[in-house]
Amino acid sequence: MTYHPDHNVEIMTDCHNICLQTVSHCLDKGGDHAQTEHIILMLDCAEICQSAANFMLRNSELHARVCTICAEVCDRCAKDCERLAAGDDMMQQCAQICRRCAETCREMSRQTGRPRHASAA
């Protein structure tokens, strides 16, 4: 069983996963962590990362366009997590993974045509 998903898809999936996990963490913490704007932004980020990954996985011609907006959402989410990251390992990690995903998506957004990713076989 040696499935190695495309590295860029993996980065987007990681970002989706950590954002969704961190929502529960933030709700548990309460206060600024549980403000509507912050929770909504993390849900936005989780969703658009999933969509960007799915466009990649479908080998869609339009993946670069979705990656453009995904980079913007990830940048915003990273910034908002950094604001809350003092002494909070999970927020720090979430911010880092959002930054990495934003960079990857910016690179992908410059591609034309179908994603140039390794096949699954």
Residues of the shown chain interacting with its own copies in the complex, contacts defined by CB under 8 A? 1, 3, 5, 9, 13-14, 17-18, 20-24, 27-28, 30, 34-37, 39-41, 43-44, 47-48, 50-51, 53-55, 57-62, 65-66, 68-69, 72-73, 76, 89-90, 93, 96-97, 100, 119-121
Minimum gap (Å) between residue 29 Cβ and its own copies: 10
Q: In whole angstroms, give the CA distance from residue 55 to residue 30.
A: 34
Kindly state the tokens that stand for 16.
């989706």
- 63 in Cβ contact with 56 (< 8 Å): yes
- 36 vs 112, which CB is nearer to its own copies? 36
Minimum gap (Å) between residue 102 Cβ and its own copies: 13
Minimum gap (Å) between residue 79 Cβ and its own copies: 13
Minimum gap (Å) between residue 105 Cβ and its own copies: 12
- 3 vs 116, which CB is nearer to its own copies? 3
- Which burial class, exposed, middle or buried, applies to 49 when counting CB atoms under 10 A from its CB (0-12, 13-18, 19+)? buried
